[in-house]
Amino acid sequence: MPSPSLATPLSSLHRRLHLTALLAMSLAALAPAAQAQEGPQLNLQRVELTAGMHRIDAQVAAAPLERQIGLMNRPEMPQHEGMLFIFEQPSQQCFWMKNTLLPLTAAFVADDGTIVNLEDMKPQTLDSHCSKKPVRFVLEMNQGWFAKKGIKAGSRLGGAPFAKK
């Protein structure tokens, strides 16, 4: 049996190692949330879009990981900003709001910039919001932005992504 003087330092060391391991695991568990909030979005390309006389400064989510993260975990977004999701092929696009803190409106947009349909989306829900026909573009803006500007289905967006090739 170890002497009491040896047992105490080993127990203390064991406790410190255990606490260090718990701290490391806690930090590792927080890393995905921090990465989602501060990861690819900070370095996303931007594109200027127009909706009538209104200018939109849109971050572009074109890669699969960028589209997957989207606007998750962001506490706010300036009123004139949005996120343009670009897909390789037109198809029915469906979005949900898991881990998204902001109420948003999704504009499902045809290749020529025509808005096919608009869908208001509640934060932190798994409700599915889909395009009414196949599209390659989805523009997310703060909820109410399109309505305040009088922009509806059938309105047309302008900008480089919608230019005829």
pTM above 0.95, yes or no: no
Q: For 8, which DSSP code?
A: H
pLDDT digits (tens, 9 = 90+) for 95-129: 999 999 999 999 999 999 999 999 999 999 999 99
pLDDT tens string 51-95: 999 999 999 999 999 999 999 999 999 999 999 999 999 999 999
**Cα 132 to Cα 45, 51, 77, 110, distances in angstroms:** 27, 20, 26, 11
pLDDT (0 to 100) of residue 163 = 83
Tens-place pLDDT, residues 126-148 = 999 999 999 999 999 999 999 99
Query: What rounded mean pLDDT belongs to the chain?
Result: 82
CA distances from 129 to 8, 30, 47, 119, 135 (A): 60, 29, 24, 6, 13
